A and B are shown apart, each in its own frame.
Chain A
């Protein structure tokens, strides 16, 4: 097994510019897996699969159609998926969606095809705000801390390494 990679979206740093959504849609025939949601008071919340360390979708899938690949991405075996939507029921972020075209659940696969060619997930590479970080845990942790230091004080939080780590591996939002 290769070193586990993480794809971390920092809500405190996101500026809601929609670059992630744009490049994700570009490489996925117009259907982005990452989306920016906007609250009524205009806070921007990028929502994407967190590839949780303890992924409830992976545990609940009755046909074992959900698996973790060697980089740690939570992936779908499209031919095993029966479309029961159990994964959607248990996902804390409501991420998986049923694609009528593929006839299976689809979601972010951390740019699986690109990773095979040695390229990193497009959203992380292109985010102008550097709100999306990709890599091994220690590296992501460093990059998130380094980037947050540039935030306005209102968007900085006193977090211990443990708390930030927990946020990165589980997807729990520590705000």
Chain B
């Protein structure tokens, strides 16, 4: 196997410019930006809160989609051939906020410190928070975050998470709310670990963001698929999940996304007994700030101009922390074009 070649634009590092760039977040956007910047002769340091570079590609997306070695070898090449320095287990933050995966970091660095130390900073911290659903009982024991569950499973396989941390899913009934790529990945992993998986979606398989193809593979493996249902409340026993109460829905007029809006049918409540429940209904950006220092919008996304620059001169941002959840390729695109801007800005052309 060969690694991703983030420095695909050059064979070796050209003459040094002497400019230093800090990149926060070693996911697809950050690593791709690093690859571009080293090809332009800049020195790059990458800070990441996880124990190893790769981001969601390494710690969350299942091995069969993106092989670990593919990412690892790519990150290693940047280090060995292009003198990129990694600062793993380092969370960069101005202010305070708890995010998923915080258990992995060992030190905190302030964003403003990096701004002082480097000629430019790129924020590519992605989406390490999970959207909460806000229904009664959604904080019971046995309700798992899709992100946590995936990085516990993969983190354990990579040797970073002790076995006790990963729930024993063998023979357990796991309910998953949602039908996006994360929901499907959670279903694949739980099914692989021997769970009885049931998926619940408020529209039909035709509207499912993950697509009928993936969902039908899961159904052929024994995953149960319930469509046109929406969660009303989680029922607990001694503080632990026991069942979920669902309402049937029907599809109404199309909403702003063009998909028909699910309308709950009053009086159609029914319950499904479960051991674990996962709300995979979306992920939220985790910028290294909390409401001050640089501008973010209502959905916590970092606001950037056409140069990918944030409200602070010299700090740029790219990837899911700017766009919200997208595809790997979209993050790579953003990282690439942000790096072009950074290079031009460092040369005084922008």
Give me the 10 closest cross-chain CB pairs, A-B, nearest first.
A42-B211, A18-B329, A125-B5, A41-B212, A17-B328, A19-B329, A22-B333, A17-B329, A41-B213, A125-B8
For the complex, give the distance between the alpha carbons of A97 and B8 in Å.
Answer: 26
Q: Does B223 contact A (CB under 8 A)?
A: no
Distance in Å from the Cβ of B69 to the closest Cβ of chain A? 9
Dominant secondary structure at the A interface = loop
Against A, the Cβ 8 Å flags (1 = close, 0 = not) of B36-79 are: 00000000000000000000010000011111001100000000
CB-CB under 8 A for A128 and B64, given A117-B11, A146-B1:
no
Chain A residue nearest to B337 (CB atoms) is A26
Contact check, B217 vs A154: say whether CB atoms are below 8 A apart: yes
Residues from chain B with a CB closer than 8 A to the CB of A16 are 327
For the complex, give the distance between the alpha carbons of A150 and B67 in Å.
Answer: 8
Contact check, B213 vs A39: say whether CB atoms are below 8 A apart: yes
Residues from chain A with a CB closer than 8 A to the CB of B260 are none
Distance in Å from the Cβ of A139 to the closest Cβ of chain B? 10
**Interface size class for chain B?**
35 or more
Count of chain A residues with a beta carbon within 8 Å of a chain B beta carbon? 35
Residues from chain B with a CB closer than 8 A to the CB of A130 are 1-2, 67, 70
Q: Does A122 contact B (CB under 8 A)?
A: yes
Q: Does B188 contact A (CB under 8 A)?
A: yes
Chain A residue nearest to B62 (CB atoms) is A152
Chain B residue nearest to A119 (CB atoms) is B11
For the complex, give the distance between the alpha carbons of A18 and B212 in Å.
Answer: 19
For the complex, give the distance between the alpha carbons of A127 and B210 in Å.
Answer: 20
Residues from chain B with a CB closer than 8 A to the CB of A19 are 28, 328-329, 332
Residues from chain A with a CB closer than 8 A to the CB of B5 are 120, 125-126
Contact check, B11 vs A22: say whether CB atoms are below 8 A apart: no
Distance in Å from the Cβ of B332 to the closest Cβ of chain A? 5
Contact check, A42 vs B1: say whether CB atoms are below 8 A apart: no
**Beyond known contacts A15-B66, A22-B333, A147-B67: 11 more, CB 8 A cutoff:** A16-B327, A22-B329, A41-B212, A43-B211, A119-B9, A119-B10, A122-B8, A126-B4, A126-B6, A130-B1, A143-B2
Contact check, A15 vs B213: say whether CB atoms are below 8 A apart: no
Q: Which B residues are closer than 8 A to A by beta carbons?
A: 1-2, 4-6, 8-11, 28, 32, 57, 63-67, 70-71, 188, 210-214, 216-217, 220, 327-330, 332-333, 336-337
Distance in Å from the Cβ of A122 to the closest Cβ of chain B? 5
Contact check, B65 vs A119: say whether CB atoms are below 8 A apart: no
Pick 5 A–B contacts, CB within 8 A, sort by A.
A18-B329, A19-B28, A22-B329, A23-B8, A43-B211
Residues from chain A with a CB closer than 8 A to the CB of B337 are 26
For the complex, give the distance between the alpha carbons of A127 and B70 in Å.
Answer: 9
Residue from B4, B57, B67, B213 within 8 A of A43 (CB atoms): B213
Contact check, A152 vs B188: say whether CB atoms are below 8 A apart: yes
Distance in Å from the Cβ of B104 to the closest Cβ of chain A? 22
For the complex, give the distance between the alpha carbons of A129 and B2 in Å.
Answer: 11
Residue from A18, A39, A147 within 8 A of B327 (CB atoms): A18
Distance in Å from the Cβ of A171 to the closest Cβ of chain B? 22
For the complex, give the distance between the alpha carbons of A147 and B69 in Å.
Answer: 11
Chain B residue nearest to A151 (CB atoms) is B64
Contact check, B212 vs A152: say whether CB atoms are below 8 A apart: no
Contact check, B211 vs A18: say whether CB atoms are below 8 A apart: no
Q: Does A21 contact B (CB under 8 A)?
A: yes
Residues from chain A with a CB closer than 8 A to the CB of B66 are 15, 128-129
Against B, the Cβ 8 Å flags (1 = close, 0 = not) of A55-71 are: 00000000000000000
